[in-house]
Structure 1
Amino acid sequence: MSERIQILSINSGSSSIKFALFACDTRQEEEQLVGAVERIGQSAGRIWLEQGSQRVLDRIQAFPNQAAALQAVVHALSEVGVQHPDGIGHRIVAGGPQQRQHVRIDAQVLADLRKALPFAPLHLPAEIAVIEAIQQLWPDKGQVACLDTAFHGSIPELAARLPLPRNLWQEGVRKYGFHGLSYEYIVSRLPDQGKAPTIIAHLGNGASMAAVAHGRCMDTTMGLTPTGGLVMGTRSGDLDPGILLYLMAEKGYTAVQLERLLNHLSGLLGVSASSGDMQILLQQRAENPHAEQAIDIFAYSARKYLGSLMAVLGEVQRLVFTGGIGEHAAAVRWAICRPLEALGFRLDPEKNAAPSQEARCISRAESPIEVLVIPTDEDRMIARHTHRLLGMTHLPATHSP
């Protein structure tokens, strides 16, 4: 067994930093701890840390910005005996036209990420801020950008090209796709590594689906940005472009107002007028018709995209649910699949309702399409790629759900 090195996986948001520490060698990644800094920029933030199932640190304090939050992470790690990791990997939502693969971060990569800001204005500023803060704290440590768009680099041009003037394609206006780290992990867990025609549904506050065959992504539901595709927690998903023209011409919406509408006020929140959290809506639906309607629209949207990805693949042998909703909301899985029984999505109600955290099959034995629930692990994929790109070959173990 080769020498183990410690990799810190970081998932940065505008108001939070999630992190996990892994001990890695050439065959596996062992999770040592997980934690998060929450409510960055607010008067009362929070940092917590867990080792195994035990919470070893939970503290309320203010974090004015990402740099202060990262400094708190460093102190928290030192409190549990971790002085510094050997390498750091970052989830990067989009690298724009210049960066399309997981890559070790240098000055050019960082410059390209800054150029990509228009492609992911909600995510990239915080991600870049944490990269720069780590350069100040640990200037000698290698950092890796793990791109959520990388998995979708295999999408054929027929699917990636948008029906717009050709000069826009040259400028990078195309389908990129997102949630790629999650899809990579799920494919690594499949017994055939995704060779059979498979649809993966990553359903959470952000939601998307991907069509996979021969281990490669053939199409996905998100496009240029993470706003498109399925109905989401607070994001609209796909809309008639004429709606935006109407809002601009008749209502005087600016680009800033449209961004807030589409990314923060729409989706489940917009329809329910109460919450973008699926678990809350499921609790409310018995007495709140707007909550019930939001759930129904979410499931309807998912069914439509399932059908479109079936058309992309020509056949489907497997459907995998993952993400917060996909893993934990049995009622939503049922609402998506029950109307599609004639197409081969036949769930076993008892298996579907089982409160298991493990990967499992939830379809009936005679179902033409196997339906699985597999918990995702984006942090592990970040550690895996970081370990590889910092100079050690990874031989991933396969796992059968």
Structure 2
Amino acid sequence: MTHALTLNAGSSSLKFGLFELGADDPALIASGKADRVGGDATLTLKDAAGAKLIDAAAIPAEGVVDHHEALAAALKALLDHFPVAQINTVGHRVVHGGLDHSGPAVLTPGIIDKLSQLSPFAPLHQPHNLAGVRAAMAAFPKAVQVACFDTAFHRHHPFVNDVFALPREYYDKGVRRYGFHGLSYDYISGELARIAPDLHAGRVVVAHLGNGASMCGMRGGRSVASSMGFSALDGLPMGTRTGQLDPGVLLYLLQQEGLSVEQIITLLYKKSGLLGLSGISHDMRTLEASDSEAAQQAIAYYTFRARRELGGLAAALEGLDGVVFCGGIGENSRLIRERICDGLHWIGIEIDDDANAANAPVISRQNAPVKVMVIPTNEELVIARACATLGKRGA
């Protein structure tokens, strides 16, 4: 029996999963996370049932822990607990696939070089994704390395949802609305096809709400429009990211406030969103528990922008048959789902309060025109499936 390792490398973290590849869908064996990479990193590992095998253990190092050392610690932990694992494929989440990739790909030196050239398009994500790729190639020189792109799911957008009203030369250079969170949307599309085929065939808005947040309008299981555009900054407000912002604000920050490009990058990506609005935290759970007026205002803005985006996507879809909530906030926050759906009766959204409070799979009222669901997403399984398919071709 062979196995696949899935990796999701962030700026200060490395999520990983071990899957068994067989005749059926890949089966999760274990998952974990190296946290605070670049500092005093820790490692957590749990089995498929969620039982903790390692709980936030320090990763030993002479200095700061980089992605190579984090991966080495993760592999040691996996092989200590699962010594019979035979890893012949490694799957990577890569945020940006550019114009060339509308599906997963086996990584070659040429493809890696092209993906590196996309780093200016996703400066806080792409370099760390590729650091994970290089660390895995060093650890598994004979394994097939597979990239799964967050942008790939959205590469079939119609022109009007793909372009900005800039001179055409910029569009030709790749300045486009790429959309992100594609692995999550891919999984939800597949789940709808499995458990609600009629809804899958219709018009659905999927809300991926977590520390990063976006919405995707799907028709027939394919992306038609996304709240995110050229970068992972656009659209909904997020934990520490702005969401939609008048570009004139950037000109003001540059010209009048005298901020440097690096300062603006830090402001937009790390100091804004829920954290910036509340002055308290980027974590929705903390804000929901707070009686601070600023915390409540941050929640109000978050849910208002989500309602506004949902309405816009319904217009892009020319109607609405369903809404799906996923992601850490979307799957777990009764309050946020309730407030986003509140006042949307005119579009056919009516929530059953008891079902919503219970995080039930279907939270809309029985005869409501629009079906509202809660489906836990699973990006790692999407990566593992790509490993099962492309690993055989690349071997």
Same fold (TM over 0.5): yes
Partner of 1:186 in structure 2? 188
Does 1:81 find its partner at 2:82?
A: yes
CA contact (8 A) 2:157 2:225 kept: yes
Does 1:242 find its partner at 2:248?
A: yes
CA contact (8 A) 1:201 1:326 kept: yes
Partner of 2:59 in structure 1? 61
Of 16, 31, 34, 1:34 maps to 31
Of 248, 260, 263, 2:266 maps to 260
Mapped to 1, the partners of 2:343 and 2:133 lie a distance apart of: 46
Shift of 1:341: 1.7
Partner of 2:139 in structure 1? 137
* Letter matched to residue 75 of structure 2: V
SS of 1:154 mapped into structure 2: coil
* Letter matched to residue 178 of structure 2: Y
Mapped to 2, the partners of 1:78 and 1:23 lie a distance apart of: 14
Q: 1:316 to 1:69 in 2, by over 3 A?
A: same
* Letter matched to residue 41 of structure 2: G
* Letter matched to residue 77 of structure 2: A
Q: 1:26 to 1:150 in 2, by over 3 A?
A: farther
Shift of 1:100: 4.1
Mapped to 1, the partners of 2:170 and 2:50 lie a distance apart of: 49
Mapped to 2, the partners of 1:29 and 1:137 lie a distance apart of: 22
Provide structure 2 residue ranges, at least 5 long, that are not aligned to the other structure: none
CA contact (8 A) 1:194 1:216 kept: no
Mapped to 2, the partners of 1:355 and 1:336 lie a distance apart of: 15
Shift of 1:296: 0.3
Work out which structure has the larger RCO, using CA pairs closer than 8 Å and 6 or more positions apart in sequence.
Answer: 1
Mapped to 2, the partners of 1:160 and 1:238 lie a distance apart of: 16
Partner of 1:289 in structure 2? 293
Mapped to 1, the partners of 2:302 and 2:329 lie a distance apart of: 11
CA contact (8 A) 2:20 2:28 kept: yes
SS of 1:321 mapped into structure 2: strand
Partner of 1:314 in structure 2? 318
Q: 1:355 to 1:319 in 2, by over 3 A?
A: closer
| 1:308-332: CA deviation from partner (whole Å, max 9, x where unpaired) | 0010011111100000110000100
Of 24, 29, 44, 1:48 maps to 44
Partner of 2:21 in structure 1? 24
* Letter matched to residue 58 of structure 2: I
Does 1:340 find its partner at 2:337?
A: no
Counterpart mapping for 1:2-401 below 5 A: 4-42=1-39, 44-51=40-47, 52-58=49-55, 59-62=57-60, 64-82=65-83, 83-190=85-192, 191-192=196-197, 194-284=200-290, 287-355=291-359, 360-391=361-392
| 1:74-119: CA deviation from partner (whole Å, max 9, x where unpaired) | 1111111245412000001112234443100001110011101001
Q: Alignment RMSD, CA only?
A: 1.5
Mapped to 2, the partners of 1:38 and 1:138 lie a distance apart of: 22
* Letter matched to residue 265 of structure 1: K
* Letter matched to residue 165 of structure 2: P
SS of 2:68 mapped into structure 1: helix
Q: 1:27 to 1:84 in 2, by over 3 A?
A: closer
Q: 1:314 to 1:165 in 2, by over 3 A?
A: same
* Letter matched to residue 247 of structure 2: P
SS of 2:337 mapped into structure 1: helix
TM-score normalized by the length of structure 2: 0.94
Question: Identity, % of aligned pairs?
Answer: 38
* Letter matched to residue 309 of structure 1: L
CA contact (8 A) 1:37 1:46 kept: yes
CA contact (8 A) 1:15 1:39 kept: yes
SS of 1:339 mapped into structure 2: coil
| 1:108-147: CA deviation from partner (whole Å, max 9, x where unpaired) | 1100111010011111111111111121121100010000
| 1:326-368: CA deviation from partner (whole Å, max 9, x where unpaired) | 0000100000001112221100000000056xxx100001211
CA contact (8 A) 1:96 1:172 kept: yes
CA contact (8 A) 1:45 1:60 kept: yes
SS of 1:48 mapped into structure 2: strand
TM-score normalized by the length of structure 1: 0.93
| 1:241-298: CA deviation from partner (whole Å, max 9, x where unpaired) | 11111111101111111111111111111110111111110010xx200000000000
CA contact (8 A) 1:268 1:275 kept: yes
Provide structure 1 residue ranges, at least 5 long, that are not aligned to the other structure: 394-401
Larger deviation: 148-157 or 127-136?
A: 127-136
Mapped to 2, the partners of 1:217 and 1:67 lie a distance apart of: 35
Moved over 6 A (4+): none
CA contact (8 A) 2:6 2:380 kept: yes
Shift of 1:392: 6.6
CA contact (8 A) 1:174 1:224 kept: yes
SS of 2:344 mapped into structure 1: helix
Mapped to 1, the partners of 2:72 and 2:26 lie a distance apart of: 25
SS of 2:335 mapped into structure 1: helix
* Letter matched to residue 194 of structure 1: H
CA contact (8 A) 1:199 1:318 kept: yes
